[in-house]
Amino acid sequence: MAIDVLIPNQLPRTNVGRSLLIKSFFLCLCALFLIPAFGTHAGTGEPWDLVESENFRVYYRGNAKSAQKVLDISEEFYPKMHRLMGDVRIGRIEIWVCGAPSEFQAAVHAPIQDWAIGCAFPLSRRIIIQNPRVIIQRDFQLAQVIRHEIVHVIFGQRTKKAIGKIPRWFVEGVAIYFSGEWAPRRNDALMKHIFSKSVIPLAELTNRFPKSENQAQLAYAESQNAVEWLVETHGVEKLWEIVDQLAEGDDLDTAFRNSIGLPLVAFDAQWRKSLSQRYHWAAMLSSSHLFWGSLAVFFMLVYLRYWRYKRRRLRQMERESEEVDAFFIER
C-alpha cells in the first residue's frame, strides 16, 4: 500500500492524505518496523506534496512543475505497457521525487536499484527517483529514467511468482528494452570491453551488479545488448513467450529452454561469442588509445607524404634553375 511508509508529519497535503490520516497512524507503526527504507531515512520532517492521476501518485518536495512533468510522462507511457501487464491489474504506482541527493541515498536499499538515479520496489509499486535536476546533470533523460522504473514495477508485478528467480541482467535488459532507453556512454563502455576481451559473463550478473560505476554501466550495457540480441536472433514473440512463462512462475532457464531451445548457459556463451563478431571494427574504433594512436599515425603519414612531395618539387626547381636557357647559348 502506498500509505504504508508514511509517518504522520509526512502526509501529503491532499484530501487523500487527510482521509487516510487515522488509518496511517496505525499502519505507520508497522511501517516503521517492516518497511523503513524510505519513510524513516528520507523523513526530514518536511511534508511531501502530491499530484495524482488515474494510474500514478507523485510525491514531491519543492518543484510542483517537475512533479507534474513526472506525472505526465508516466501517464503517457503507461498505456504502451499494456501487453507487458497481461491480465494483471497493476494498481496505482507511486513515484517519490526526492528533493536532495541525501534523501535518495538514504532510500537506496532496494532489491532492484539503479545507479544513483532511480530505484524501483516492484512489489510495493513504488519508485524513488533523484531530483530531476540531478538526473539531467548526470546526462540522463528524465523520461527515460521514469519509463525504465515503471517497466520494473509492471514487469515485477506481472512476474511476481518468479520474482526471486529472475537474473538481474534479464530484469535490467527488459527494463531498458521496453522503455526504449538509449545511453551512448554505456554502449561505449561495452565496445571497449569487447575490444579488451573483458566482458562480464551474464552468469556473473545473476544476483547483483558490480559496485563500481564503470563496471555497473558495463553490466547495464550487457543486459541491454543480450535482450536485444535475443530479439534480433529469435524474434520479439520469443521474448513475450519468455515473459509469459515467467508470469506462470517458471525460472528463466526453463523459460529459455522452452521458448528458444537453449539453456541460459548456452545463450550466455553464444551471446558473448557474437559480440566480437558483430562489433569487431566498432570495438576497435571505440578504444580511445587505438583511435587516437591511429589518428596520430594517419597525420604522420600525411605529413611524410607532403614532405616528400615538397622535397621532390624543390629538387625539380633546382634542376630547372641550373639549366641554361637555350636562347643564350653562345656559338
* Assigned C-alpha cell, 282: 566498432
Out of 175, 190, 219, 221, the only residue in the binding site for Zn ion (CB under 5 A) is: 175
The amino acid present at 279, given as its one-letter code, is Y
Per CB under 5 A, the segment of 109-117, 129-137, 299-307, 312-320 that binds Zn ion is 109-117
* From 13-21, 89-97, 171-179, 284-292, span contacting Zn ion (CB under 5 A): 171-179
Q: Which of 136, 14, 104 is nearest to 64 (CA)?
A: 14
The span from the CA of 112 to the CA of 87, in Å, is 23
Residue 40 Cβ vs Zn ion, minimum distance, rounded to whole Å: 24
Strands 56-60, 93-97: pairing kind: parallel
Size of the site for Zn ion (CB under 5 A): 3
Binding span for Zn ion by CB under 5 A among 114-122, 192-200, 236-244, 301-309: 114-122
114 binds Zn ion, rule: CB under 5 A = yes
CA distance 314 to 120: 72
In the complex with Zn ion, the residue whose CB is nearer, 120 or 194, is 120
Radius of gyration of the chain (CA): 29
DSSP 20: T
* Stretch of residues binding Zn ion (CB under 5 A), selected from 23-31, 166-174, 195-203, 248-256: 166-174
> CA–CA separation, 295 vs 288, rounded Å?
10
Least CB distance to Zn ion at residue 184 (A): 18
Residue 45 CA to residue 7 CA, distance in Å, equals 9
The dihedrals phi and psi of 93, each to the nearest 5 degrees, come to -100, 135
Give 16 or 123: the residue with its C-beta nearer to Zn ion.
123
Q: Which stretch binds Zn ion (CB under 5 A): 170-178, 188-196, 206-214, 241-249?
A: 170-178
Q: Is 230 in the site for Zn ion (CB under 5 A)?
A: no
CB 91 within 8 A of CB 56: no
Q: Which is nearer to Zn ion, 175 or 194 (CB)?
A: 175
As measured in angstroms, the least distance from the Cβ of 112 to Zn ion is 6
CB of 185 to Zn ion, least distance (A): 16
The residue (of 94 and 172) whose beta carbon lies closer to Zn ion is 172
Nearest-angstrom CA–CA distance, 202 and 159: 20
Residue 198: phi, psi to the nearest 5?
-125, 35
Q: Does 222 bind Zn ion (CB under 5 A)?
A: no
Binding site for Zn ion (CB under 5 A): 114, 172, 175
